[in-house]
Amino acid sequence: MTSLLSWQGLRDLKLSALDDAADGWAEVSHHAGAAAERVDAEMAGGLAKTQESESAKAAVRRLNRLSRNYHYMHAECGLIRSSVTGLATELASPQRRLKEALGDAAALSYSVGADGSIGYPAGGRNELTGEAIPGGSAAGDNGLLTPGNNGMFPPDGKGRYLPGSGFGTVGLVNPNPHHAKAQDIADRIAHALREAQEIDERYRAALSRLKAGPGLTVDTRTWTDAAADAAAVRSAAAEYLRDGIPSGASPADRKAWWDGLTEERREEYLAVYPDVIGNLDGIPAVVRDEANRENLRLLIGKLSGLDGDDARTKLDALKGIEERLQEGSVPPMYLLGIGDEGNGRAIVSYGNPDTAANVSAYVPGLGTKLDGEFVDSTMKRAQDTALGANEADPHSSTASIVWLGYDAPQLTATDLAANADVMFMDDARAGAPAYNGFMAGIAATHEGADPHVTAIGHSYGSLTVGLAAQEKGGIPGADDIVLVGSPGTGARTADDLNVGRHHVFVGAADHDLVTRLPNHEESAGLGAGAAGGGSAGLALGLGMGGPVGGFVGGAAGAAAGGIAGYMAQDGQTDPGQGWFGTDPANRRFGATRFLVDDGPTVVRGGFEAHSRYFTPTKDQMSADNIARIVAGRPDEISLEPPR
């Protein structure tokens, strides 16, 4: 279907009426949003915290359903408001140009036909006959290469030129001096109308989607439709809104851009582009949180309509994050980033980083992705750090962030120890500038004095943090760096990390094999030993127990041979060198090593020693030391001699 908008309709269109309609939809959206917040905070949240009976739980479920309805109304009415505002805003330009053209026609006493053609009077004299050159009409260029508008028709038998024949490529130039002026006006009218019709059709298609199904149930299918609705409005408003977002600017410039917007324009961006605003470094934390909570529901709707293990894994994680947000937490949660690209994205802060005196940003490592373990375990590490820092300094506020803003290698610690040569720096190199961009955003949006900032890297995440610290200028705002369970940072010494060696702190459990990851020469010995041992074990096992015996013998032989090869090579290489440069726990690196529990051996606990650093119930000493550093009290940590 194409727009039926005529030039008369464009001329008479009252854009103020569209603005009034947009304001009405905005008011409805505001009321729905406020009602949702009240239900969440004052009703459902309070009831859940104070009552545990079955009737109370049932009431909470009904209140949560009411909250979902309000959130949906808030989102959809916001999209309608933005669509109507965008329509009015974009139509203003072609309407202005149309009225200017009509004004020029009136000033010259030209007539305007129903089809937008311009009639002009006789003018000038025919040089051959001396007769007055008759008037005529000029049709505007409608963008189509047809004889009616490209000037290729010569004059008819009476010396009159057909509409649009003023500047022909084959025909003669119309000698009437009015013709060129009339043609210009007709072309301007046609161009303005053509642009307005395109705008009208674009927004008509978007608005036609914005309608709710029957009933009051807001479920995942409803949010799937809402995600498609948002995409349709984004497509319609691409020029109106998206082109104004300073995506390539610095976080400080983005902050200035956001501060300079009117409240109405901010609301439009939040309604139409929650995914962009919520993940834009330099936007204030409370705004990012609002946008990402909206985007979270849209992502849940989007992934609910997809098949496959990856979509289901991310969907379960998103639902888990939504549940945590609804339940509330101490400190309160702020959702600073969310997305389904790659292995998934999530940035969660416990405490407001724009107002806290202490801010830490922890980068997780090996095997981390947007899944149930991230929600249940990785996020809990950040929360434990916030609680520990508040306990270390009750008079100072802390925001503790977990930053999953990159794709970590999808290997387990077991995979890493068995096959270290598959580990490269590509993911960390990609993550380092993204992490620095986020940290620059934290620095730009902080409301108070210069906060105490700690960058934390665990496992492969310590390599990401290390590479970020080695970029020009280092990690923006960072005062201290904490590395735990680190296979290396790519740096030769702590001085390379741009905060001073006395501000680099390392935790490395002796039973954490990732911190003892072999260097390249040792890895070669491990591989050769594993191959030789596996071959010998396979032959022996086949001879004694058939295929099953061969499998068992091969596995056991590979393990024994690998360890023997590693030990043999380790005795001939520099013990201070790991896979990714100098071992951060080694004395040559020059960092401050703090005391941690060594954890269970590999025989007793597998690779558990690699994942205990942040958890008070498993390693109180390490968790306390990290919390004290984050709280700005490094003089109170317990130390351990470097390797």
Q: Tell me: the pLDDT tens digits for 115-129? A: 999 999 999 888 778
Using 50, 70 and 90 to split pLDDT, how confident is the model at 17?
A: very high
Across 361-384, average pLDDT? 97
Half-sphere exposure of 413 (CA within 13 A, CB side): 21
Across 36-58, average pLDDT? 67
- Please report which helix (H) or strand (E) contains residue 206, including its range: helix 177-209
Q: What distances in angstroms separate CA 470 from CA 28, 312, 439, one per listed residue?
A: 50, 37, 14
Would you say residue 9 has pLDDT above 80? yes
Structure-model confidence comparison of residues 4 and 445, the more confident one: 445
pLDDT for res 99? 96
Would you say residue 171 has pLDDT above 70? no
Would you say residue 148 has pLDDT above 50? no
Burial, 457: exposed, middle or buried (Cβ in 10 Å; 0-12, 13-18, 19+)? buried
Nearest-angstrom CA–CA distance, 550 and 536:
10
Would you say residue 226 has pLDDT above 80? no
Would you say residue 243 has pLDDT above 90? no
Across 136-156, average pLDDT? 55
Is residue 594 within 8 Å of residue 639, measured between CB atoms? yes
Structure-model confidence comparison of residues 37 and 487, the more confident one: 487
**Per-residue pLDDT tens over the stretch 76-121:** 888 888 888 889 988 999 999 999 999 999 999 999 999 999 999 9
* 25-39, 43-57, 265-279, 594-608: range with highest mean pLDDT: 265-279
**Per-residue pLDDT tens over the stretch 473-492:** 999 999 999 999 999 999 99
pLDDT for res 253? 97
Using 50, 70 and 90 to split pLDDT, how confident is the model at 26?
A: confident
- Which two structure tokens, joined as six digits, stand for 536? 């010998």
Burial, 546: exposed, middle or buried (Cβ in 10 Å; 0-12, 13-18, 19+)? exposed
pLDDT for res 124? 85
Structure-model confidence comparison of residues 458 and 216, the more confident one: 458
Place of tokens 């990714």: 580
Would you say residue 362 has pLDDT above 60? yes
Structure-model confidence comparison of residues 486 and 160, the more confident one: 486
Is residue 297 within 8 Å of residue 75, measured between CB atoms? yes
What average pLDDT does the chain have? Answer: 83
pLDDT for res 423? 60
HEC profile for 446-484?
Answer: CCCCCCEEEEEEECHHHHHHHHHHCCCCCCCCCCEEEEE
Quote the percentage of the chain above a pLDDT of 90: 56
Using 50, 70 and 90 to split pLDDT, how confident is the model at 449?
A: confident
pLDDT for res 413? 53
pLDDT for res 260? 96
Is residue 401 within 8 Å of residue 362, measured between CB atoms? yes
Across 6-13, average pLDDT? 94
pLDDT for res 537? 43
pLDDT for res 276? 94
Pairing of strands 111-112, 118-120: antiparallel
Quote the percentage of the chain above a pLDDT of 70: 79
pLDDT for res 519? 63
Reduced to 3 states (helix: H, G, I; strand: E, B; else coil), residue 28 is helix
- Which two structure tokens, joined as six digits, stand for 281? 């470094």
Would you say residue 615 has pLDDT above 50? yes
Across 600-609, average pLDDT? 81
Non-local (6+) Cβ contacts of 576 within 8 A are: 582, 583, 586, 587, 588, 589, 643
Across 458-471, average pLDDT? 97
Is residue 102 within 8 Å of residue 232, measured between CB atoms? no
Would you say residue 293 has pLDDT above 80? yes
Would you say residue 286 has pLDDT above 90? yes
**Per-residue pLDDT tens over the stretch 296-350:** 988 998 898 888 999 999 999 999 999 999 888 999 999 999 999 999 999 999 9
Would you say residue 215 has pLDDT above 50? yes
Which of the residue ranges 186-200, 324-338, 421-435, 496-510 would you say has the lowest mean pLDDT?
421-435
Reduced to 3 states (helix: H, G, I; strand: E, B; else coil), residue 356 is coil
Would you say residue 51 has pLDDT above 70? no
Across 545-573, average pLDDT? 43
Structure-model confidence comparison of residues 279 and 47, the more confident one: 279
